[in-house]
Amino acid sequence: MMKKVIELKGIVKTFGSVLANDHIDFELRSGEIHSLLGENGAGKSSLMNVLAGVYQPDSGEIIFKGERVDIPSPRHSIDMGIGMIHQHFKLVEAHTVLDNMLAGMSKGIFLDKKKYRNQVLELSKKYGLDIDPDSIIDDLSVAQKQRVEILKVLFRGATILILDEPTAVLTPQETEKLFTIINNLKDNDHAIVFISHKLDEVLSISDRVTVLRNGKNVSTLDNKNLDSGILISNMVGQTLDLAIERPITSKESKLLEVKDLSVLRPDGAHGLKNVSFDLFNGEVLGVAGLAGSGQKELCEAIAGLQEKLSGTIVFKGDDITGSTPRQIIKKGISMSFVPEDRLGMGLVASMDLVDNVLLKAYLKQPGIFVDRNQARVEAEKLVDKLSIDTPSVDINVSKLSGGNIQKVLLGREIELQPELIITAYPARGLDIGSAYKIYDLLNEQKTNGNGIIFIGEDLDVLLQISDRLMVMCNGEVTGIVNPDTVTKEDIGYMMVGRKIEGVNSDD
Amino acid sequence: MIRISKRADMPQSKRWIIRISAIILALAIMSFFFIFLGHNPLEVYQTIITGSLGTYNRFVKTIELVIPLSLSALGIMIAFKMKFWNIGAEGQIVVGAIAATFVALNFSELNSVLLLSMMFIASALAGGIYAFIPAIFKVKFKTNETLFTLMLNYIALRYVTYLQYGPWKDPAARGFPKIANFAQNARLPRVFQINAGWIILIVFVALIYVLMNKSKLGYEIAVIGESQKTAKYAGMNVAKVIVMALFISGALSGIVGMIQVAGVNYTLSDQVSGGMGFTAIIIAWLSQIKVLLIPVVGFFFAMLVQGATFIRTAFQIPQSIVDILQAIILFFALGSEFFINYKLHFERKAKGRIQNG
């Protein structure tokens, strides 16, 4: 039953001078769920891309069902029965599920759609995927699209499934459902690699856990008597205090007052609908919600980047509704926005650290010339203070790792000492060490009496860091709750639109 | 099967080796054409050099090509840096020339310094406004700037023809459709026998270098070119910067028009731009949007154009062959950038390859 399907021996993969995989051994058995854990840059994706045929290892062996093989291209990988479910779905939005399944099949000129449709239906039923082959992808929820991806690789004959952080986009209820499906697959002798940052999920679903650190395999552990402490110490090489602080502050003065804020998207749909809330000095207001529930519109509306809006946004008595970022800066309103799209909005990817620091400083410099010396000093200070890993401040930010990019962005914004910080997914894609550094920085600002709007996706983090938690769905606020008294289940229901009575703690 | 992947950074030295090999390869391939025509290719290439630089007179001619090509390319570069595809330099040169000519014909009694200054300002304004129009439409109505600037070229060119045959026809030319020659005081002085445009070029290379690398506007242009979202986020007035930058872009080409009518032709005709506005696009692109490389690439191009004209007469080679020569060099020069940025992998086609090891 538990036979080895894939064995990786001594895999080495380098990118230029970076050693991504350093003699990694990894084995996968049929009928097991094997989690892959590690900080960012630990080598998880490189290793999985070797399996998917995207990267060729510099040395090492791949043993597939007892035979030594090469996987020179993704095509070969698919033919071997390896299916990867990426974080970003690769589906044609305007087509039906069935058409997406059949795309790229190169068997003959004509397709017997009926036959394939039945096959798809059967697979869907067998594993409890609950997908209608005739629905249009565009109409499906994120969770359903993910199941379509799973169905797609199964349809192509995959018996080895690699899921790259599949739960990042799901509600707790949807995660439950996904786990049922994964367990169904396991019962049918499929082998599953599960990549996740969420330790409780890893502990609840895995048979074995492999921890990578700095490109090396630290340990492969059976999921017996494991706890998150053991996993963390393996991941970071030391024991870390897992709790995020929530410093107590006095919240006397109202910093921001948002009333009946509605935003129209360029396509005419409502991005936000009658959103009202207050933010006080020294407060972290967490915002939870599924991806695309209006978080982006909310941040951008306050930061002056949304055009079609109604309602009012009042910052310390100043009505800033509809002001452009330039007007906000000129009015002297001390606000920083750390956008979700770091390289597309917050930073200029092809510019170096100095020019990126300059982005927020140059408007206030006198005269018609930019002062790069001042920005250079500022940039060097950031590198020092946040231990940003870069050879120099003259490196393009796009060459830095995700965590360091975020440190540059958040560091630049915090250095401006803003009274209001709006931050969207500040720790997304960061390893635990960097994420905690970011939380500390934000808490420091909170203690200084500044207000923070924290858009997050990890409920555990949101519940720990927020003084109040606002839940959004479809551009509406479904509740503002006290994180100490609310349950995760209730939040899950609010994320899908159920307004819950009695938990609204908004005064 | 060939797979293409993006290359990691390549050292500058290697980049230049690739670029120079591309040019050599282009010349090698072109050699077949010349051998086929019965010429010794080495002799032809040597004549291109002597034909463009061999005597001081030829050198003057070459430099007088460097001036308009580089100045126009400088303007185009500013727009390209913002990813605003201004391919209207040709038209901007022409309207600059029209404005300068208008001043030259109507105020010829003024003293030379004042007259030339007025011509200079008029041409810059005209060229600037001619680029300003598509920029306004782009930021207000999101029109396509490529088509817009291209079409404006033809309006400007045809308008010169109209002036030539109509209102500005020189009565002294006895019915010949020609605009009157400029008076002496409307002509650019010559410095070292070259029209003073070269001094204007040097001044503008310095000015634009400072603009792009040291000024706030230059910084804003660079950010907007990368991402308008970031620019708005940082509090830039994106529409204003685009319009201002395009005005400068067009003004530089407008000044080229003035230099050509006042320094080279001493009159206005529909041949005033002669495709230079298009060649300048290639120069701006090959210079990789770097200010200081523009005069260097401009010089190389001027040599090629001047030398090609010379071999046409020296070897009785038809113009079409000269055009092919230029096209092949361009093709290879642009193609080499592909190999600098991307890597090719050649793979055998195989299914589920199994190794016995």
B227 and chain A: CB distance < 8 Å anywhere? yes
Token pair for residue A355? 């020019």
Interface test with A, best of B1, B81, B230 (most A CBs within 10 A): B230
Model confidence at B38: pLDDT above 60 = yes
The segment with the largest mean pLDDT, out of A151-155, A265-269, B169-173, is A151-155
Q: Verify whether the Cβ–Cβ distance B352 to A80 is below 8 Å.
A: yes
With an 8 Å Cβ cutoff, are B235 and A339 in contact?
Answer: no
Structure ipTM: 0.81
Chain A residue at shortest CA distance from B3: A73
Quote the CA–CA distance of A352 and A366 in Å, as a whole number: 22
Name the one residue in this structure whose structure tokens are 């999921």: A223
Name the residue of chain B whose CA is nearest to A413's CA: B234
Helix axes B197-214, B56-81, angle to 10 degrees: 30
Each residue's pLDDT tens digit, A6-48: 999 999 988 766 678 888 999 999 899 999 987 766 788 888 9
Q: What is the DSSP string of A176-239?
A: HHHHHHHHHHHHTT-EEEEE-S-HHHHHHH-SEEEEEETTEEEEEEESSS--HHHHHHHHHSS-
Whether B4 contacts chain A with CB within 8 A: no
Beta bridge partners of A422: A337, A453
The answer, for A350 touching chain B at a CB cutoff of 8 Å, is: yes
pLDDT, mean of residues A407-433: 86
Query: Which residues have a Cβ under 8 Å from the Cβ of B263 and sit 6 or more positions away?
Result: B64, B67, B187, B188, B195, B196, B197
Instruction: Report the distance separating Cα A251 and Cα B247, nearest Å.
Output: 51
In the prediction, which pLDDT does A34 show? 94
pLDDT score, position A256? 92
Burial class (CB in 10 A: 0-12, 13-18, 19+), B59: middle
Query: Which of A41-45, A311-315, B113-117 is predicted least confidently?
Result: A41-45
In eight-state DSSP terms, residue A54 is S
Chain B interface, mutation test: which of A326, A352, A412, most B Cβ atoms within 10 Å?
A: A326
User: Which of A61, A70, A348 comes nearest B226 by C-beta?
Assistant: A348
Please check whether residue A11 is in contact with residue A24, taking contact to mean a CB–CB distance below 8 angstroms: yes
- A359 Cβ under 8 Å from any chain B Cβ: yes
Which of A368, A396, A405, A423 to probe the B interface (max B CBs under 10 A)? A368
Whether pLDDT at A233 is above 80? no
Residue-range domain boundaries for chain A:
4-236, 243-334+417-507, 348-415
Task: Say if A72 is an interface residue toward chain B (CB within 8 Å).
Answer: yes
pLDDT score for A505: 46
Average of per-residue pLDDT across B227-255 = 94
Query: CB A70 to CB B353 under 8 A?
Result: yes
Highest mean pLDDT among A232-246, A255-269, A319-333, B146-160: B146-160
**Which whole number is the average pLDDT over A476-503?**
80
Question: pLDDT above 90 covers what percent of chain A?
Answer: 27
Mean pLDDT of chain A: 85
CATH class of the domain whose range is A243-334+417-507: alpha beta
Q: What is the pLDDT of residue A507?
A: 42
User: Model confidence over A451-460: pLDDT tens digits?
Assistant: 999 998 878 8
Pairs of CB atoms within 8 A across A/B: 87
Highest mean pLDDT among A29-33, A83-87, A90-94, A498-502: A29-33
pLDDT per residue as tens digits for the range A338-354? 998 888 899 998 899 99
Chain A contact present for B7, CB below 8 A: no
Question: Min CA distance, A357 vs chain B (Å)?
Answer: 11
A351 touches chain B (CB under 8 A): yes
Are A370 and B355 a contacting pair at CB < 8 A? no
**pLDDT-derived band at B72, boundaries 50, 70, 90:** very high
Question: Tokens 């007025």 correspond to what residue?
Answer: B118
Q: What is the pLDDT of residues B322-357, one digit of tens each?
A: 788 888 888 888 888 888 878 777 765 444 444 443
Quick check: A294 and A472 in contact, CB under 8 A? Answer: yes
3-state secondary structure of B86: coil
Residue A69, min C-alpha distance to chain B (Å):
5
Portion of chain A with pLDDT greater than 70, in percent:
94
CA atoms within 13 Å, Cβ hemisphere of A190: 24
Mean pLDDT computed over every residue of chain B: 89
Q: Nearest chain A Cα to B357, which residue?
A: A68
Domain made up of A4-236: CATH architecture? 3-Layer(aba) Sandwich (3.40)
